[in-house]
Structure 1
Amino acid sequence: MSSALIVDDHPVVVAAVKLVLETQGYTQIHVASRGVDVVPMIREHTPELIVLDLKLEGMSGLEVLERIRAIGLSCKVVIFTSSEPVHYLPRCRRAGAMAYVTKSAQLQQLQSAIKAVRSGYTFFPEMPDASVGQFDMQSNERALIDLLSDRELHILVQLAHGKPNKLIASEMNLSHKTVSTYKTRLMMKLGMGSLVLLRELAKRNQLL
């Protein structure tokens, strides 16, 4: 019997993905809403396919993907997320994902991605040239963002959403001091003097 794991914290999305998986013949479909639960569920249910959102509280989808690869667990991963691919797709690809579909696309695209991955192929949208029609400043910003670690990128997005350090620390199971250090490091790496500027940078680069 074919088994799959959906990792998403939105019930409507989970229901839609379940329907797609069922049409593809998956009979055992499990659901996780938190990144921290994924590895234990993979070990328990050994799903052949994982449909993974990147925007998860605490452990991000990228960190989940990295952990799956680091541990050497055998499963095919389809990213299904609202995160824009410009910064995330290359990271997901490097971390071992086999497909990337945005939630703004038709569900038929998710279905096509699952079919491709199940047959051993990858499914990634074409990436536009980041330098075409953009200001040099934004191109430089994207280059700086690409140099951030997955965890730094996750914390950048949380800060840009206006979350206080203590809440980020609680959700990520980190100390307040650690998050504060990440925040300082981000400001230095990106050349931002305030959280307002950090948020503007995130908006310009489709991180929000």
Structure 2
Amino acid sequence: MSDLGNSILIVDDEFLIAQGLAAQVEDMGFTVCGTAATAADAVRLAREHRPMLVLMDMRLRGEGDGVDAALAIHETIGSKMIFITGSREPSTMARIQLDHPSAVLFKPISALKLRNTIRTALDMDTP
């Protein structure tokens, strides 16, 4: 789980949200290694690029959700996770905590909140 790259992977099934997050991340000086709308694509891109951080939406297209993808990515690559969700339902929050994320952000997300959360996550020591 070492030798992570210096890029960020964005996973969101809403194209415009993914593109908006990518623009904000790039404005912060980071490289976006890709965007994914499904859990399978997220895992594939993570294995290919080994990102240091993943911005992970909870609800995704197709089979699996953000937690399924995050657990697979965490187990095989070790990237840090910041979950992004529009839901504050206890069942959603409990499911997200299965992956022990660096942070959870609730939509809509301000640019400042995103910037501060990414910087905090990247300064944290890997458990």
TM above 0.5, yes or no, is yes
Matched to 2:68, the amino acid is: E
CA-based RMSD: 2.0
Could you give the per-residue CA deviations for residues 101-140 of structure 1, whole angstroms, max 9, x where no partner exists?
011242321221111101117xxxxxxxxxxxxxxxxxxx
Structure 2 residue runs without a partner (length 5+):
none
Partner of 2:47: 43
Other structure's SS at 1:9 match? coil
Partner of 1:59: 64
Could you give the per-residue CA deviations for residues 120-165 of structure 1, whole angstroms, max 9, x where no partner exists?
17xxxxxxxxxxxxxxxxxxxxxxxxxxxxxxxxxxxxxxxxxxxx
Matched to 1:59, the amino acid is: G
Aligned-partner Cα distance in 2 for 1:66–1:85: 20
Matched to 2:65, the amino acid is: S
Greater Cα offset, 89-98 or 32-41: 89-98
Structure with more of its chain in helix, by fraction: 1
Distance change >3 Å, CA 94–CA 9, structure 1 → 2: closer
Give 1:147-158 correspondences, 5 Å limit.
Answer: none
Other structure's SS at 1:55 match? coil
Cα offset, 1:85, TM superposition = 5.5
Greater Cα offset, 22-31 or 32-41: 22-31
**Which of 101, 110, 119 is 1:97 aligned to?**
101
Aligned-partner Cα distance in 1 for 2:31–2:108: 26
The percentage of counterpart residues that share the same residue type is 24
Structure with more of its chain in strand, by fraction: 2
On the 8 A contact 1:78/1:99 being kept in 2, the answer is: yes
Distance change >3 Å, CA 22–CA 83, structure 1 → 2: same
Structure 1 residue runs without a partner (length 5+):
122-208
Aligned-partner Cα distance in 2 for 1:87–1:107: 27
Other structure's SS at 2:121 match? helix
Other structure's SS at 1:74 match? coil
Partner of 1:12: 16
Aligned-partner Cα distance in 1 for 2:12–2:19: 10
User: Bigger radius of gyration, 1 or 2?
Assistant: 1
Aligned-partner Cα distance in 2 for 1:23–1:2: 15
Could you give the per-residue CA deviations for residues 23-62 of structure 1, whole angstroms, max 9, x where no partner exists?
2221243111111112221111111110000111221111
